[in-house]
Amino acid sequence: MNLSVLERTYSVCRLAAAEPVPAWVEGSAFFAVTRTADELSVVCETGCVPAGVQREDGWRILKVEGPLDFSLVGILAALAGALAAAGISIFAVSTYDTDYLLLKEEKLAVAAAALRENGHTVRE
């Protein structure tokens, strides 16, 4: 697979399930919002998140170059497996066209090396 590193640093935020989608996410070049019965999760640029929001900072994003056909099998498994073998935890976000892997910024260089060792291309 071909992957590229998005420039900015991101946060994963947790809000109450009943809260509306916050307007501040719209300031982020990339954002993802997921609502369940238990929570509202938001991924966005760290600089967009106001003080007082429960969050985990320091994430970078690897974008799988797409679009990917829905019939493709094992894309996330192959990438996640290579990263797991290198001891790197991920947070995955999928869209209609492709997949995004969030990983801690301090693991980015090791992650890129592990993916390259497994035959993938990573553009930084």
Q: What is the pLDDT of residues 84-102, one digit of tens each?
A: 999 999 999 999 999 999 9
pLDDT at 73 over 90: no
By three-state DSSP, how is residue 41 classified?
Answer: strand
Q: What are phi and psi of 20, to 5 degrees?
A: -70, 160
pLDDT recorded at residue 89: 97
The encoded tokens of residue 88 equal 């790197």
Q: What is the pLDDT of residues 14-42, one digit of tens each?
A: 999 999 999 999 999 999 999 999 999 99
Residues in the chain: 124
pLDDT recorded at residue 67: 87
Q: What are phi and psi of 43, to 5 degrees?
A: -115, 125
Please tell us whether the domain made up of 2-123 is placed in CATH 3.30.2130.10. yes
pLDDT at 114 over 90: yes
